[in-house]
Amino acid sequence: MLVEPSSILDKCRIVNFPKVTDYRGNLSFIEENLQIPFQIKRVYYLYDVPSGASRGGHAHKELHQVVIALSGSFDVILDDGTSSRRTFFLNRPHYGLYIPPGIWRELENFSSNSVALSLVSLVYDEADYLRDYDAFKRWVANGWT
């Protein structure tokens, strides 16, 4: 029996954060190298995204990322540069989506008042970005070189 090689998309996964429930409200926390499988070097967030707009539209060569819907909801569409795509719907602040390097990502379908928080493994470095989809596919086809 032939076994298909797994896609790098199989490494993308939902990460659950501890949730402390209380009648006064819930509390969740995130600790690097525990719930997050890397050291956090940068935190940024998207908000006030206009209806119908999309964000992302790039891949990273080295950066690891966890995306969390702190408020509202949105879709994260992931693409491995070959033929596999996967969509994750994020709508709860007590879990996030882990995205390793080498994955094209797009964020779409933002609800009103949504906030997308990103925890990432590197400080900003433009050289780490692949912003052209065809260049990304060539990079994948060349074995990430």
Q: For residues 106 and 58, give the distance between their C-alpha atoms in angstroms, rounded to a whole number.
A: 7
What is the arrangement of strands in the sheet containing 129-130, beginning at the earlier edge strand?
Answer: 85-90, 74-79, 104-108, 55-60, 129-130
Consecutive H or E run containing 118: strand 115-120
Residue 60 bears catalytic tag:
no
Amino acid present at 124: Y
Q: For residues 115 and 66, give the distance between their C-alpha atoms in angstroms, rounded to a whole number.
A: 14
Q: For residues 55 and 46, give the distance between their C-alpha atoms in angstroms, rounded to a whole number.
A: 9
Q: Could you give phi then psi for residue 88, rounded to 5 degrees?
A: -115, 135
Question: Of 58, 60, 64, 94, which one is the catalytic site residue?
Answer: 58
Angle at 52 between CA 48 and CA 56, to 5 degrees: 70
Enzyme catalytic residues: 58
